[in-house]
Structure 1
Amino acid sequence: MKRNIVFLLGLALALQSCGQGSTGSDQEQEVAEDLAKVAISTPHGEIIIELFDETPLHRDNFLRLTEDGVYDGTLFHRVINAFMIQGGDPDSKNAQPGQQLGMGGPGYTIPAEFAEGKYHEKGAVAAARQGDQVNPQKESSGSQFYIVQGRVFSHEELGVLEQRTGRTLTDEQKRIYTTIGGTPHLDGEYTVFGRVVEGFDVVDKIAAIETDRSNRPIEDIAISVRILE
Protein backbone atom coordinates (compact mmCIF):
# COMPACT_ATOMS: atom_id res chain seq x y z
CA MET A 1 0.00 0.00 0.00
CA LYS A 2 1.29 3.42 -0.89
CA ARG A 3 1.95 5.82 1.95
CA ASN A 4 1.89 9.56 1.71
CA ILE A 5 5.33 11.15 1.45
CA VAL A 6 5.49 13.21 4.61
CA PHE A 7 7.59 15.60 6.64
CA LEU A 8 8.11 15.73 10.39
CA LEU A 9 5.01 17.90 10.40
CA GLY A 10 4.06 17.51 14.05
CA LEU A 11 7.38 18.87 15.25
CA ALA A 12 7.28 21.59 12.62
CA LEU A 13 3.91 22.85 13.78
CA ALA A 14 4.98 22.63 17.41
CA LEU A 15 8.01 24.77 16.65
CA GLN A 16 5.88 27.25 14.72
CA SER A 17 3.59 27.61 17.73
CA CYS A 18 6.56 28.66 19.88
CA GLY A 19 6.66 31.99 18.08
CA GLN A 20 5.92 33.52 14.72
CA GLY A 21 9.04 35.31 13.53
CA SER A 22 10.03 36.78 10.22
CA THR A 23 10.24 34.43 7.24
CA GLY A 24 13.76 35.66 6.52
CA SER A 25 15.63 37.69 3.99
CA ASP A 26 14.26 38.25 0.49
CA GLN A 27 17.63 39.07 -1.04
CA GLU A 28 18.77 36.94 -3.93
CA GLN A 29 21.75 34.63 -3.43
CA GLU A 30 25.13 34.95 -5.11
CA VAL A 31 25.05 32.56 -8.06
CA ALA A 32 27.76 29.94 -8.61
CA GLU A 33 28.42 30.03 -12.35
CA ASP A 34 29.58 26.42 -12.61
CA LEU A 35 26.54 24.76 -11.01
CA ALA A 36 23.60 23.33 -12.96
CA LYS A 37 20.56 25.59 -12.81
CA VAL A 38 16.89 25.17 -13.58
CA ALA A 39 13.95 27.54 -13.81
CA ILE A 40 10.59 26.66 -12.28
CA SER A 41 7.82 28.67 -13.94
CA THR A 42 4.61 29.25 -11.97
CA PRO A 43 1.53 31.48 -12.36
CA HIS A 44 3.14 33.76 -9.76
CA GLY A 45 6.54 34.11 -11.39
CA GLU A 46 9.75 32.19 -11.89
CA ILE A 47 12.00 30.50 -9.34
CA ILE A 48 15.63 29.89 -10.32
CA ILE A 49 17.46 27.16 -8.43
CA GLU A 50 20.98 25.80 -8.59
CA LEU A 51 21.76 22.14 -7.93
CA PHE A 52 24.66 21.11 -5.72
CA ASP A 53 27.55 19.00 -7.00
CA GLU A 54 27.84 17.51 -3.49
CA THR A 55 24.58 15.62 -4.10
CA PRO A 56 25.20 14.14 -7.57
CA LEU A 57 22.49 11.46 -7.43
CA HIS A 58 19.79 14.00 -6.66
CA ARG A 59 21.22 16.59 -9.07
CA ASP A 60 21.39 14.21 -12.01
CA ASN A 61 17.96 12.75 -11.27
CA PHE A 62 16.34 16.19 -11.14
CA LEU A 63 18.00 17.19 -14.41
CA ARG A 64 16.95 13.94 -16.10
CA LEU A 65 13.32 14.33 -15.00
CA THR A 66 13.38 17.94 -16.17
CA GLU A 67 14.72 16.94 -19.60
CA ASP A 68 12.02 14.28 -19.87
CA GLY A 69 9.27 16.80 -19.03
CA VAL A 70 8.14 14.87 -15.97
CA TYR A 71 7.56 18.02 -13.93
CA ASP A 72 5.71 19.98 -16.61
CA GLY A 73 2.06 20.33 -15.65
CA THR A 74 2.51 19.05 -12.11
CA LEU A 75 1.40 21.12 -9.11
CA PHE A 76 2.78 22.55 -5.96
CA HIS A 77 0.34 20.26 -4.21
CA ARG A 78 1.29 20.84 -0.56
CA VAL A 79 1.83 24.33 0.81
CA ILE A 80 2.33 25.36 4.45
CA ASN A 81 3.04 29.01 5.18
CA ALA A 82 6.24 29.65 7.17
CA PHE A 83 7.31 26.07 6.36
CA MET A 84 7.62 24.95 2.73
CA ILE A 85 6.03 24.42 -0.70
CA GLN A 86 6.10 20.87 -2.11
CA GLY A 87 5.75 19.59 -5.67
CA GLY A 88 6.88 16.90 -8.07
CA ASP A 89 4.05 14.37 -7.70
CA PRO A 90 3.32 12.98 -11.21
CA ASP A 91 -0.22 12.17 -10.04
CA SER A 92 -0.90 15.90 -9.69
CA LYS A 93 -1.05 16.37 -13.46
CA ASN A 94 -4.69 17.05 -14.35
CA ALA A 95 -5.69 16.24 -10.77
CA GLN A 96 -9.33 16.79 -9.88
CA PRO A 97 -10.27 19.42 -7.28
CA GLY A 98 -9.98 17.94 -3.79
CA GLN A 99 -8.06 14.89 -5.01
CA GLN A 100 -5.58 13.64 -2.41
CA LEU A 101 -2.03 14.03 -3.68
CA GLY A 102 1.45 13.27 -2.42
CA MET A 103 1.70 9.52 -3.07
CA GLY A 104 3.01 9.56 -6.62
CA GLY A 105 6.50 9.05 -7.96
CA PRO A 106 8.54 7.48 -10.76
CA GLY A 107 8.73 4.07 -9.08
CA TYR A 108 12.14 4.36 -7.45
CA THR A 109 13.86 6.10 -4.55
CA ILE A 110 17.26 7.80 -4.24
CA PRO A 111 19.79 7.05 -1.48
CA ALA A 112 20.14 9.88 1.02
CA GLU A 113 22.98 12.34 0.35
CA PHE A 114 23.55 14.42 3.47
CA ALA A 115 26.21 16.90 2.38
CA GLU A 116 28.15 18.83 4.99
CA GLY A 117 27.14 22.47 5.19
CA LYS A 118 23.91 22.05 3.21
CA TYR A 119 21.17 23.16 5.59
CA HIS A 120 17.42 23.79 5.45
CA GLU A 121 17.81 27.56 5.22
CA LYS A 122 15.21 29.65 3.46
CA GLY A 123 15.30 28.76 -0.24
CA ALA A 124 16.81 25.31 0.24
CA VAL A 125 15.57 22.70 -2.23
CA ALA A 126 15.24 19.24 -0.72
CA ALA A 127 13.78 15.83 -1.50
CA ALA A 128 10.57 14.63 0.11
CA ARG A 129 10.43 11.07 1.38
CA GLN A 130 8.41 8.51 3.30
CA GLY A 131 8.68 8.50 7.08
CA ASP A 132 11.25 6.65 9.16
CA GLN A 133 8.81 3.90 10.12
CA VAL A 134 8.85 2.52 6.58
CA ASN A 135 12.03 4.21 5.37
CA PRO A 136 14.72 4.06 8.07
CA GLN A 137 17.45 4.73 5.50
CA LYS A 138 15.81 8.11 4.74
CA GLU A 139 15.81 7.42 1.01
CA SER A 140 14.35 10.23 -1.08
CA SER A 141 11.33 10.21 -3.34
CA GLY A 142 12.34 9.80 -6.96
CA SER A 143 10.57 13.01 -7.98
CA GLN A 144 8.94 14.92 -5.13
CA PHE A 145 10.79 17.93 -3.77
CA TYR A 146 10.13 20.93 -1.59
CA ILE A 147 11.40 24.49 -1.29
CA VAL A 148 11.90 25.81 2.22
CA GLN A 149 10.28 29.05 3.29
CA GLY A 150 10.54 28.56 7.04
CA ARG A 151 11.04 31.45 9.43
CA VAL A 152 13.68 33.13 11.58
CA PHE A 153 14.27 31.53 15.00
CA SER A 154 15.53 33.03 18.22
CA HIS A 155 18.52 31.53 20.03
CA GLU A 156 16.12 30.42 22.76
CA GLU A 157 13.96 28.52 20.27
CA LEU A 158 17.01 26.82 18.81
CA GLY A 159 17.97 25.79 22.34
CA VAL A 160 14.55 24.17 22.78
CA LEU A 161 15.03 22.36 19.46
CA GLU A 162 18.38 21.00 20.60
CA GLN A 163 16.80 19.68 23.79
CA ARG A 164 13.92 18.02 21.91
CA THR A 165 16.08 16.38 19.26
CA GLY A 166 19.22 15.68 21.27
CA ARG A 167 21.27 17.30 18.51
CA THR A 168 23.71 20.16 18.87
CA LEU A 169 23.54 22.83 16.18
CA THR A 170 26.77 24.21 14.77
CA ASP A 171 27.60 27.90 15.02
CA GLU A 172 26.90 28.18 11.28
CA GLN A 173 23.44 26.63 11.68
CA LYS A 174 22.66 29.03 14.51
CA ARG A 175 23.80 31.97 12.39
CA ILE A 176 21.66 30.86 9.46
CA TYR A 177 18.49 30.17 11.42
CA THR A 178 18.65 33.40 13.45
CA THR A 179 19.24 35.57 10.36
CA ILE A 180 18.15 33.94 7.09
CA GLY A 181 15.68 31.54 8.67
CA GLY A 182 14.52 28.12 7.56
CA THR A 183 13.43 24.80 9.06
CA PRO A 184 16.29 23.60 11.29
CA HIS A 185 14.55 20.46 12.55
CA LEU A 186 14.79 18.94 9.05
CA ASP A 187 18.60 19.00 8.90
CA GLY A 188 19.97 15.48 8.67
CA GLU A 189 16.50 14.10 7.96
CA TYR A 190 15.93 15.10 4.32
CA THR A 191 18.49 15.54 1.56
CA VAL A 192 19.14 19.16 0.58
CA PHE A 193 20.29 19.15 -3.05
CA GLY A 194 19.88 22.73 -4.23
CA ARG A 195 18.89 26.27 -3.36
CA VAL A 196 16.90 29.18 -4.73
CA VAL A 197 19.04 31.95 -6.22
CA GLU A 198 16.22 34.08 -7.66
CA GLY A 199 12.51 34.21 -6.94
CA PHE A 200 12.28 34.25 -3.16
CA ASP A 201 9.28 36.56 -3.54
CA VAL A 202 7.56 33.89 -5.65
CA VAL A 203 8.14 31.29 -2.94
CA ASP A 204 6.60 33.68 -0.40
CA LYS A 205 3.58 34.35 -2.63
CA ILE A 206 2.90 30.65 -3.11
CA ALA A 207 3.41 29.88 0.58
CA ALA A 208 0.73 32.45 1.47
CA ILE A 209 -1.93 30.97 -0.82
CA GLU A 210 -5.18 29.64 0.66
CA THR A 211 -5.21 25.85 1.05
CA ASP A 212 -7.66 23.10 1.97
CA ARG A 213 -7.42 20.75 4.97
CA SER A 214 -4.79 18.67 3.17
CA ASN A 215 -2.64 21.78 2.57
CA ARG A 216 -3.39 21.65 -1.15
CA PRO A 217 -3.85 25.12 -2.66
CA ILE A 218 -7.46 25.92 -3.47
CA GLU A 219 -6.26 27.36 -6.78
CA ASP A 220 -3.93 25.00 -8.64
CA ILE A 221 -0.30 26.13 -8.87
CA ALA A 222 0.93 24.34 -12.00
CA ILE A 223 4.62 24.41 -12.85
CA SER A 224 6.95 23.84 -15.76
CA VAL A 225 10.67 23.28 -15.36
CA ARG A 226 13.50 23.90 -17.80
CA ILE A 227 17.28 23.63 -17.62
CA LEU A 228 19.18 26.89 -17.95
CA GLU A 229 22.24 26.88 -20.19
Structure 2
Amino acid sequence: MRLIYLFTIFVITCQFSNAQTHKIAFKTDYGIFKVLLYDFTPKHRDLMLRSIEDSTYQGALFNRIIENFVVQGGEHDVDIERREATDPTGKKPRLKGEFDSRAFHKIGALGQGRDDNPDKASFLNQIYFVAGKKVTEQDLEALEIKKGIKFTPEQRKEYLKNGGLPRLDGDYTVFGEIYEGLEIINAISRFKTDKADYPTSPVKFSIQIIE
Protein backbone atom coordinates (compact mmCIF):
# COMPACT_ATOMS: atom_id res chain seq x y z
CA MET A 1 0.00 0.00 0.00
CA ARG A 2 2.82 2.38 0.88
CA LEU A 3 4.52 1.70 -2.46
CA ILE A 4 1.28 2.48 -4.29
CA TYR A 5 0.92 5.73 -2.32
CA LEU A 6 4.49 6.79 -3.09
CA PHE A 7 4.05 5.95 -6.77
CA THR A 8 0.86 8.00 -6.91
CA ILE A 9 2.62 10.99 -5.34
CA PHE A 10 5.48 10.57 -7.82
CA VAL A 11 3.11 10.56 -10.79
CA ILE A 12 1.21 13.61 -9.54
CA THR A 13 4.48 15.47 -8.94
CA CYS A 14 5.73 14.64 -12.44
CA GLN A 15 2.45 15.74 -13.99
CA PHE A 16 2.53 19.02 -12.05
CA SER A 17 6.14 19.63 -13.08
CA ASN A 18 5.37 18.99 -16.73
CA ALA A 19 2.28 21.21 -16.59
CA GLN A 20 4.38 24.05 -15.20
CA THR A 21 6.90 24.05 -18.06
CA HIS A 22 5.92 25.93 -21.22
CA LYS A 23 8.28 26.78 -24.04
CA ILE A 24 7.54 28.64 -27.23
CA ALA A 25 9.45 29.41 -30.42
CA PHE A 26 9.53 32.70 -32.31
CA LYS A 27 10.10 32.29 -36.04
CA THR A 28 11.49 35.24 -37.99
CA ASP A 29 13.18 35.71 -41.36
CA TYR A 30 16.40 36.10 -39.39
CA GLY A 31 16.21 32.86 -37.44
CA ILE A 32 14.33 31.12 -34.64
CA PHE A 33 14.70 31.90 -30.96
CA LYS A 34 13.14 30.04 -28.06
CA VAL A 35 11.45 31.37 -24.94
CA LEU A 36 10.58 29.89 -21.55
CA LEU A 37 7.31 31.15 -20.05
CA TYR A 38 7.40 31.63 -16.28
CA ASP A 39 5.10 29.59 -14.07
CA PHE A 40 5.07 32.33 -11.43
CA THR A 41 3.29 34.76 -13.78
CA PRO A 42 0.49 32.35 -14.74
CA LYS A 43 -2.05 34.84 -16.09
CA HIS A 44 0.38 36.29 -18.62
CA ARG A 45 1.73 32.84 -19.44
CA ASP A 46 -1.77 31.59 -20.18
CA LEU A 47 -2.61 34.72 -22.17
CA MET A 48 0.36 33.99 -24.43
CA LEU A 49 -0.64 30.35 -24.85
CA ARG A 50 -4.20 31.38 -25.79
CA SER A 51 -2.84 34.01 -28.17
CA ILE A 52 -0.83 31.33 -29.96
CA GLU A 53 -3.89 29.10 -30.26
CA ASP A 54 -5.92 32.07 -31.57
CA SER A 55 -3.16 32.98 -34.07
CA THR A 56 -2.96 36.49 -32.61
CA TYR A 57 0.73 36.77 -33.33
CA GLN A 58 0.95 34.74 -36.53
CA GLY A 59 2.51 37.03 -39.12
CA ALA A 60 2.75 39.85 -36.57
CA LEU A 61 5.39 42.58 -36.67
CA PHE A 62 8.14 43.80 -34.42
CA ASN A 63 7.04 47.40 -34.97
CA ARG A 64 8.95 49.38 -32.36
CA ILE A 65 12.68 48.85 -32.12
CA ILE A 66 14.95 50.91 -29.90
CA GLU A 67 18.58 49.88 -29.62
CA ASN A 68 19.72 49.28 -26.03
CA PHE A 69 16.07 49.34 -24.95
CA VAL A 70 13.39 47.01 -26.37
CA VAL A 71 12.11 45.14 -29.40
CA GLN A 72 8.33 45.47 -29.26
CA GLY A 73 5.80 43.51 -31.28
CA GLY A 74 2.11 42.86 -31.79
CA GLU A 75 -0.46 45.64 -31.79
CA HIS A 76 1.19 49.07 -31.69
CA ASP A 77 0.29 51.63 -29.00
CA VAL A 78 -1.11 53.99 -31.64
CA ASP A 79 -3.36 51.31 -33.14
CA ILE A 80 -4.62 50.23 -29.70
CA GLU A 81 -5.46 53.83 -28.83
CA ARG A 82 -7.33 54.36 -32.09
CA ARG A 83 -9.28 51.10 -31.79
CA GLU A 84 -10.30 51.74 -28.21
CA ALA A 85 -11.30 55.33 -29.03
CA THR A 86 -13.92 54.03 -31.47
CA ASP A 87 -15.43 51.56 -29.00
CA PRO A 88 -18.81 53.03 -27.95
CA THR A 89 -18.69 51.10 -24.66
CA GLY A 90 -15.45 52.81 -23.68
CA LYS A 91 -13.93 49.49 -22.70
CA LYS A 92 -10.17 49.15 -22.43
CA PRO A 93 -9.41 45.44 -21.89
CA ARG A 94 -6.33 44.91 -19.75
CA LEU A 95 -4.70 42.11 -17.78
CA LYS A 96 -3.77 42.82 -14.17
CA GLY A 97 -0.03 43.10 -13.70
CA GLU A 98 1.89 40.20 -12.16
CA PHE A 99 5.09 41.00 -10.33
CA ASP A 100 7.59 38.49 -8.95
CA SER A 101 11.20 39.13 -8.00
CA ARG A 102 12.26 36.19 -10.19
CA ALA A 103 10.75 37.92 -13.23
CA PHE A 104 12.83 40.99 -13.98
CA HIS A 105 14.14 42.97 -16.94
CA LYS A 106 17.32 41.08 -17.73
CA ILE A 107 18.49 41.10 -21.34
CA GLY A 108 16.27 38.72 -23.31
CA ALA A 109 13.35 39.01 -20.88
CA LEU A 110 9.83 38.82 -22.38
CA GLY A 111 7.42 41.45 -21.11
CA GLN A 112 3.89 42.63 -21.82
CA GLY A 113 3.35 46.20 -22.99
CA ARG A 114 0.91 48.60 -21.38
CA ASP A 115 -0.25 52.20 -21.37
CA ASP A 116 0.05 54.68 -18.52
CA ASN A 117 -2.74 53.21 -16.40
CA PRO A 118 -2.47 53.45 -12.60
CA ASP A 119 -3.01 49.71 -12.11
CA LYS A 120 0.00 48.82 -14.26
CA ALA A 121 -2.26 46.44 -16.17
CA SER A 122 -1.04 44.99 -19.45
CA PHE A 123 -2.29 45.23 -23.02
CA LEU A 124 -3.68 41.91 -24.22
CA ASN A 125 -1.79 41.71 -27.50
CA GLN A 126 1.50 43.56 -27.25
CA ILE A 127 4.81 42.10 -26.12
CA TYR A 128 8.44 43.19 -25.94
CA PHE A 129 11.91 41.75 -25.47
CA VAL A 130 14.56 43.53 -23.45
CA ALA A 131 17.60 44.55 -25.47
CA GLY A 132 18.91 46.54 -22.52
CA LYS A 133 22.20 48.18 -21.79
CA LYS A 134 25.06 48.15 -19.32
CA VAL A 135 24.07 48.66 -15.66
CA THR A 136 26.33 49.93 -12.90
CA GLU A 137 26.18 49.63 -9.14
CA GLN A 138 25.44 53.36 -9.00
CA ASP A 139 22.48 52.85 -11.35
CA LEU A 140 20.98 50.21 -9.08
CA GLU A 141 21.52 52.24 -5.92
CA ALA A 142 19.89 55.31 -7.50
CA LEU A 143 16.90 53.26 -8.66
CA GLU A 144 16.45 51.70 -5.22
CA ILE A 145 16.17 55.18 -3.73
CA LYS A 146 13.97 56.57 -6.50
CA LYS A 147 11.57 53.60 -6.70
CA GLY A 148 11.69 52.58 -3.04
CA ILE A 149 12.69 49.03 -3.89
CA LYS A 150 15.51 46.63 -3.11
CA PHE A 151 17.04 44.53 -5.86
CA THR A 152 17.59 40.89 -4.91
CA PRO A 153 21.09 39.37 -4.99
CA GLU A 154 20.09 37.44 -8.12
CA GLN A 155 18.83 40.58 -9.86
CA ARG A 156 21.89 42.58 -8.86
CA LYS A 157 24.29 39.89 -10.08
CA GLU A 158 22.55 39.55 -13.45
CA TYR A 159 22.26 43.28 -14.06
CA LEU A 160 25.86 44.01 -13.18
CA LYS A 161 27.17 41.11 -15.25
CA ASN A 162 25.00 41.35 -18.38
CA GLY A 163 22.91 44.53 -18.16
CA GLY A 164 19.20 45.04 -18.73
CA LEU A 165 16.49 47.56 -17.90
CA PRO A 166 16.09 47.58 -14.10
CA ARG A 167 14.19 50.88 -14.21
CA LEU A 168 11.17 49.00 -15.62
CA ASP A 169 11.01 46.49 -12.75
CA GLY A 170 7.78 46.64 -10.80
CA ASP A 171 6.09 48.69 -13.51
CA TYR A 172 5.82 46.27 -16.44
CA THR A 173 5.09 42.56 -16.21
CA VAL A 174 7.89 40.19 -17.24
CA PHE A 175 6.65 36.66 -17.88
CA GLY A 176 9.40 34.81 -19.71
CA GLU A 177 12.91 34.87 -21.13
CA ILE A 178 14.88 33.78 -24.18
CA TYR A 179 16.85 30.61 -23.46
CA GLU A 180 18.13 29.94 -26.98
CA GLY A 181 18.88 32.31 -29.85
CA LEU A 182 19.39 35.52 -27.88
CA GLU A 183 21.75 36.72 -30.60
CA ILE A 184 18.81 36.95 -33.00
CA ILE A 185 16.79 39.42 -30.93
CA ASN A 186 20.00 41.33 -30.20
CA ALA A 187 20.62 41.66 -33.94
CA ILE A 188 17.03 42.79 -34.55
CA SER A 189 17.44 45.44 -31.83
CA ARG A 190 20.10 47.07 -34.00
CA PHE A 191 18.01 47.24 -37.18
CA LYS A 192 17.65 50.62 -38.86
CA THR A 193 14.49 52.51 -37.87
CA ASP A 194 12.73 55.76 -38.72
CA LYS A 195 12.09 58.67 -36.36
CA ALA A 196 9.05 56.87 -34.89
CA ASP A 197 11.15 53.76 -34.11
CA TYR A 198 9.49 51.68 -36.84
CA PRO A 199 12.01 49.41 -38.61
CA THR A 200 12.57 50.63 -42.16
CA SER A 201 12.02 47.06 -43.40
CA PRO A 202 9.19 44.88 -41.96
CA VAL A 203 10.28 42.41 -39.29
CA LYS A 204 7.64 39.67 -39.15
CA PHE A 205 7.33 36.94 -36.57
CA SER A 206 5.13 34.00 -35.72
CA ILE A 207 4.98 31.93 -32.55
CA GLN A 208 4.39 28.26 -31.91
CA ILE A 209 4.31 26.11 -28.81
CA ILE A 210 7.21 23.70 -28.37
CA GLU A 211 5.84 20.29 -27.53
Aligning the two structures, in what range does the TM-score lie when normalised by the shorter sequence?
A: 0.7 to 0.9
Distance 1:43 1:104, change over 3 A: farther
Tell me how far 1:162 sits from its aligned partner: 2.9
Distance 1:53 1:140, change over 3 A: same
CA contact (8 A) 1:105 1:141 kept: no
Instruction: Give the residue type in structure 1 aligned to 2:104.
Output: Y
Question: 2:179, 2:83 → 1: CA distance?
Answer: 26
What do the CA deviations read for 1:142-188 (whole angstroms, capped 9, x no partner)? Answer: 01010111022121222233343343323322211101211000110
Secondary structure of the residue aligned to 2:191 is coil
Pick from 122, 128, 132 the counterpart of residue 146 of structure 1. 128
Aligned match of 1:61: 47
Is the aligned partner of 1:49 residue 2:35?
yes
Aligned match of 1:129: 114
Is the aligned partner of 1:215 residue 2:200?
no
Aligned match of 1:161: 143
Question: 1:156, 1:206 → 2: CA distance?
Answer: 29
What do the CA deviations read for 1:77-131 (whole angstroms, capped 9, x no partner)? Answer: 0011111100021x79xxxxxxx65647896211111123211101110110011
- TM-score after normalising by structure 2: 0.81
Question: Number of matched residues?
Answer: 187
Identity level (%): 36
Question: 1:101, 1:208 → 2: CA distance?
Answer: 24
CA contact (8 A) 2:131 2:189 kept: yes
Tell me how far 1:58 sits from its aligned partner: 0.7
Tell me how far 1:191 sits from its aligned partner: 0.7
Instruction: Give the residue type in structure 1 aligned to 2:174.
Output: V
Question: 1:83, 1:219 → 2: CA distance?
Answer: 19
Long gaps (5+) in structure 1? 1-31, 93-99
Matches within 5 A, 1:45-124: 45-89=31-75, 103=81, 108-124=93-109
Question: 2:107, 2:60 → 1: CA distance?
Answer: 23
Question: 2:161, 2:49 → 1: CA distance?
Answer: 31
Question: 1:195, 1:144 → 2: CA distance?
Answer: 16
- TM-score after normalising by structure 1: 0.75
